[in-house]
A and B are shown apart, each in its own frame.
Chain A
Amino acid sequence: MSIALHLPAHAAYASVARSMAATIAARCELTYDRVEDARLAIDEAFNQVITNASVNAEVVCTFIEEIGAIEFMVQSRTDLEELLPTNTFSWTVLSALADEVHNTNVDGILSVIARVQESTNAAA
């Protein structure tokens, strides 16, 4: 199942995305530390996307839930012409929090996609 959240591209709305991520991660039966990782990961992704969002753009956060994993995509219209750099502190943080993470920039839409899952030896 996927759930979408449309928000203004402003840091003040990151808390809405964080709460939604935590709620969905809990539904996915992730352990406490992975729920917190998902919360921090979307915060980081949200901030990276809004930093590069076009003026008056909105951010769309899409969540996909499954047992043992949450996947999310944070998207916004951007004036950036290339991909987000991955040799930054922010990307390192995101990479440490998520099991898979990448970004795309297609037709002026910047997307950060990440997946946080339960490790195989830490099932609830």
Chain B
Amino acid sequence: MSTEQRDQLITEHVGLVYHVARRYQSHHEYEDLVQAGYEGLIYAASHYDGSTGFAFSTYAVTSIRGSIQHYLRDKSSTVRIPAKLQELCSQVSVAIDELSQRHGKAPTIPAIAQHLGILEDQVLQAMDANVARSTVSTDSEDSPVIGMQSTNTALEDFEDGEAIRQALSTLPETDQTVVKLRFFANKTQTEIAEDLEISQMQVSRILTRALRELRPLLGDT
């Protein structure tokens, strides 16, 4: 899909963002909800595949709702990311996924900066903010979960594999899958993002959060 087609989808369906945001409006800042929803709409427009037979609006509503729910979960974390920085984060996230799809590999930081017309420092700032957003896990991220039976073999190699298994079981299901794919199946973050149909920044966020949560449970295990 061309950039023009993507932009047209966004323009034509921006009303969906307001529609979905209104449903969460009662206890939250409407503008922030719209901002989060808009992020979901951009993501949907960038990833929509018309050959699946689903209408774009169906796909977009799911993505907008997911994005707003992510925002509400992040809002409950102890770290408050300013709206402007969150917007930068969203732009960087979309750019990473777009450039990865276009070139078949993750982009460098200078390439992301050039694509967005911003400084490399701003890209790094967005990456820092993304990690900061990973502070608290309140629920699993919305994404499909795939089976990872093969990783159980790797866990058997550890003297205290059972402790690792138990610690992993305390994580949301998606987080468990991402940890297993990265550290036991040796998949790259880009490959995991493709497999689970989530953004690469989401994978980074999940890994950071998961390791932080596992560390006190496992000690030196």
Contacts and interface: CB of A to CB of B under 8 A. Distances in A.
Q: Which 6 A-B pairs have the closest CB atoms?
A: A26-B109, A33-B189, A31-B106, A124-B108, A32-B106, A33-B106
Interface in A1-44: 18-19, 22-23, 26, 29-37, 39-40, 43-44
B186 to A, nearest CB: 6
A31 B214 CA distance: 26
Interface string B159-197: 100001001000000000000001110101110000000
Given A40-B211, A47-B215, A122 B183 contact: no
Contact of B220 (A33, A34, A40, A90): A90
A37 B109 CA distance: 14
Nearest to A35: B109
Interface residues of B, number: 38
Contact of A96 (B120, B123, B157, B182): B182
Contact of B127 (A22, A92, A122, A124): A22
Interface of A: 18-19, 22-23, 26, 29-37, 39-40, 43-44, 47, 51, 85, 87-90, 92-93, 96, 122, 124
B200 interface: yes
Nearest to A123: B105
Given A89-B158, A89-B221, A22 B124 contact: yes
B112 interface: yes
B188 A89 contact: no
Which of B107, B110, B220, B221 has most chain A Cβ within 10 Å?
A: B220
B139 interface: no
A88 B110 CA distance: 36
Given A33-B200, A89-B218, A122 B105 contact: yes
B108 A22 contact: no
Given A93-B211, A124-B107, A51 B183 contact: no
B72 interface: no
